[in-house]
Structure 1
Amino acid sequence: MSATWKNNIEISIFGESHGKAIGVLLGNLPSGIILDKEFIHQEMQRRAPGKNKMSTARVEKDEVEIMSGVLEGKTTGAPLMAMIYNNDQHSKDYSVLKTHMRPGHSDYPAYIKYLGFNDVRGGGHFSGRISAPIVFAGAIAKLILKQKGIEIVGHMSAIENIQDDLFETTITKQTVQLLQEQVYPVLNKAIYSKMQEAIETARMDQDSVGGKIECAILGIPAGIGEPFFDSIESHLASLMFSVPAVKGIHFGNRQISQLKGSQANDCYVYQGEKVTCLTNNNGGITGGISNGMPIIFEVALKPTPSISKQQNTINVETKENTTLEVHGRHDPCIVPRAIVVIEAMAAITMLDFMR
């Protein structure tokens, strides 16, 4: 089972949802980076479960213990290893999943691939819980990028069929601040209560809902990236699809395929000595390379597959058709807690390009 991503920087994740601990090993980080513990803690808390009815009732502090690669609060250049200990496992809730395959989850393909030896408790290594160490890695990447004037910010652009506003061509500091001040950020605050209601309705119906997250990368200069296989889109998409529940990604204008070339093209203009574009339909990337505009992309996340509503499935032990009601503690919607995960993956991607 591979759990390593490697390019200019290296990331290895490890652990299971109900194991003793989860964690990450980061290689080829620059030395001398000051780790802002308060910022890292805030980022971890954005993803942490158990805050309200919009997330799972599982309570984890997600406190990070750094085991190597840091001395006196600064990176040494050696591989940085971080551990997050699990404290609130209810493993007995998952005993039936050794034989009964959850629809929409990894259970059946993992059962086939790993000959039934895979850990099914809470999804094991396939669980969204493994995104916690990714958030830690993303927090470090954000700290490094911030020194280069690069910021990353996201918001819930949709929950089920409820749509938030989308980023405009020019993203102001006020917009960034507006999103950073919210626990579950939206651009149009009036829409938040409707999103919350949709999630609560699904929860009460023992069901779940999906949604979308729009993310902006600000401050990337023109000329970053490569064409074809090493395009910014290729690398971002690769890491975004590593996030559990992500099923789609779109860069720039959602309707760009419906536009004529004269409408879709982002025309260049000088503002003093600075080159900018009148629009940003291409999401800040053309030819796989940054053009100086904000990099904008949107990911689609499916509904949480583990639901208490009865569903049809199979029993791989008896080889019979049966039904399943998944017990345990699950998010009725993963989108609110996934925003910081998407930002983290974006930060890791751009740090890799800028390294």
Structure 2
Amino acid sequence: MSTFGEVFRVTTYGESHCRSVGCIVDGCPPGMELTEDDIQPQMNRRRPGQSSITTPRNEKDRVAIQSGTEFGITLGTPIGLVVLNEDQRPKDYGNKTMDLYPRPSHADWTYLEKYGVKASSGGGRSSARETIGRVAAGAIAEKYLKLAYGVEITAFVTSVGSVHMFPPTPEYPTPSQNPAFMELIQNIDRETVDKFLPVRCPDEQASQKMADYIAAFKERNDSIGGTVTCVIKNVPSGLGEPCFDKLEAKLGHAMLSIPATKGFEIGSGFGGCEVPGSIHNDPFIRAPETPGTQETGAGRAGTPRPKLTTKTNNSGGIQGGISNGAPIYFRVAFKPPATISQAQTTATYDGESEGVLEAKGRHDPCVVPRAVPIVEAMAALVVMDALLQQMGRHEARRHLPPLKQTVPPADSGVSRDTKQ
């Protein structure tokens, strides 16, 4: 369906070449300052026409708040956001050939099978234009997360085709084992990422190779895929709803709902399968003292207790489906864009004959540079929803009598020897 979230709920609307696209955001806390200026920067990072290696479709993607705020303050009521499609060209798709043949690797055939009717131009709801509403809603979630908890979300490109920022090696089969990668996710921010346009890979040599690689595919009227890595810092511990709504499960759901995605891995990911448990396990250590922080983990809200962190972070900041306070990081794989300006064989909708189809629409030769803010937005929606659920749990428990201490102190005499 078109709604994502349980407490912070986002419903997107619109097709590739309709009059407008946008969303309704329900569940935003009241009393937060919010104007279009808070949302537009992320819209600008997502919009088409940014460089020579993106689609030339000329959309400004100016967002307008229609409801849910007054005098620049959120009311707690549904927030309506709208973006006009100013450079729509449905005529690019209005020819007899495209009416007869489903485009290879597009959703033309599956949408027709499901609904019995489909949008005739641009892929309809399967188009990346649908993600505008996600990015707008994500910007709202991000502002609350930043103001209330200091959460920072940064995504960046880590591979295009066979060009990798951190190529796997026998020594480092997964980036989580690579000290350079772990240092990067501790310090990366959006300002740094955007210094490496047009690709958004924060490494000068790899970024230039990726840009040249994409340009070569564009020159051949072809396309190529890649991966985007995202890190979420300062996430409170205790977020996630086991067993079926574990935090990594919700993140995977969110990321794989983005058009053109083909894979998701968190923490050590698939490369972690090549590392023995003695190396892969994340030992717990006492966290540094951080004055002014609030208790947000499994303990009763407001009850001070020693904070733990992990010496390594192969888990990617989530254990048992619950955030542990360490940076959360994951990677999303995007396939090559299906629309290419090459003649391709396909069959008619009735399957009676074969033919050749050559797309005329505008397209990205590689989607990963513009996917960066979309990944960030979906991450923000997941964390915001999980946070509001956990805050509700704490508030409900706060009205109960305090519990006796449930974790024995170190000098209690209770044995902690787990060896058999």
1:128-139 correspondence runs (5 A):
128-139=128-139
- Counterpart position of 1:298: 331
User: By how many angstroms is 1:98 displaced?
Assistant: 2.5
Moved more, 229-238 or 178-187: 178-187
Asked if structure 2 preserves the Cα contact closer than 8 Å seen for 1:169 and 1:280, the reply is no
What letter is aligned with 1:347? A
What letter is aligned with 1:205? R
Asked if structure 2 preserves the Cα contact closer than 8 Å seen for 1:169 and 1:279, the reply is no
Asked if structure 2 preserves the Cα contact closer than 8 Å seen for 1:9 and 1:27, the reply is yes
User: By how many angstroms is 1:154 displaced?
Assistant: 0.7
TM-score, with structure 1 as normaliser: 0.95
Task: Quote the Cα distance in structure 2 between the aligned partners of 1:174 and 1:238.
Answer: 25
Task: Quote the Cα distance in structure 1 between the aligned partners of 2:259 and 2:188.
Answer: 31
Mark the runs of 5 or more structure 2 residues left unpaired by the alignment: 167-174, 176-180, 290-306, 389-420
User: By how many angstroms is 1:333 displaced?
Assistant: 0.5
Task: Quote the Cα distance in structure 1 between the aligned partners of 2:4 and 2:88.
Answer: 28
**Are 2:265 and 1:246 equivalent residues in the alignment?**
no
What letter is aligned with 2:24? L
Q: Per the alignment, do residues 55 and 327 of structure 1 end up closer, same or farther by CA in structure 2, a change over 3 Å counting?
A: same
1:1-355 correspondence runs (5 A):
2-95=1-94, 96-115=97-116, 117-147=117-147, 148-165=149-166, 167-168=181-182, 171-173=185-187, 177-179=191-193, 181-183=195-197, 184-254=199-269, 255-273=271-289, 274-316=307-349, 319-355=352-388
Task: Quote the Cα distance in structure 2 between the aligned partners of 1:297 and 1:174.
Answer: 14
Asked if structure 1 preserves the Cα contact closer than 8 Å seen for 2:36 and 2:63, the reply is no
Task: Quote the Cα distance in structure 2 between the aligned partners of 1:54 and 1:354.
Answer: 37
Asked if structure 1 preserves the Cα contact closer than 8 Å seen for 2:155 and 2:372, the reply is yes
Task: Quote the Cα distance in structure 2 between the aligned partners of 1:91 and 1:302.
Answer: 24
Task: Quote the Cα distance in structure 2 between the aligned partners of 1:208 and 1:180.
Answer: 23
User: By how many angstroms is 1:185 displaced?
Assistant: 2.4
Asked if structure 2 preserves the Cα contact closer than 8 Å seen for 1:236 and 1:346, the reply is yes
Asked if structure 2 preserves the Cα contact closer than 8 Å seen for 1:127 and 1:244, the reply is yes
User: By how many angstroms is 1:314 displaced?
Assistant: 1.0
Moved more, 226-235 or 171-180: 171-180
Task: Quote the Cα distance in structure 2 between the aligned partners of 1:170 and 1:317.
Answer: 52
User: By how many angstroms is 1:38 displaced?
Assistant: 3.0
SS at the partner of 1:88? Answer: coil
The CA deviation string for residues 31-61 of structure 1, in whole angstroms up to 9 with x for no partner, is: 1111153342111000010122211010000
Task: Quote the Cα distance in structure 1 between the aligned partners of 2:69 and 2:330.
Answer: 33
Moved more, 312-321 or 68-77: 312-321
More strand by share: 1
Find the structure with the greater CA-based Rg. 2
The CA deviation string for residues 136-167 of structure 1, in whole angstroms up to 9 with x for no partner, is: 11111110110111010010010011111453
What letter is aligned with 1:91? P
The CA deviation string for residues 56-108 of structure 1, in whole angstroms up to 9 with x for no partner, is: 01000000111111111111111111111101112111124332111111011
Task: Quote the Cα distance in structure 2 between the aligned partners of 1:136 and 1:214.
Answer: 20
User: By how many angstroms is 1:177 displaced?
Assistant: 4.5
Task: Quote the Cα distance in structure 1 between the aligned partners of 2:277 and 2:156.
Answer: 29
Q: Per the alignment, do residues 177 and 268 of structure 1 end up closer, same or farther by CA in structure 2, a change over 3 Å counting?
A: farther
What letter is aligned with 1:353? A
The CA deviation string for residues 245-267 of structure 1, in whole angstroms up to 9 with x for no partner, is: 01110001141111111111111
Asked if structure 1 preserves the Cα contact closer than 8 Å seen for 2:36 and 2:65, the reply is no
Asked if structure 1 preserves the Cα contact closer than 8 Å seen for 2:36 and 2:64, the reply is no
What letter is aligned with 2:250? H
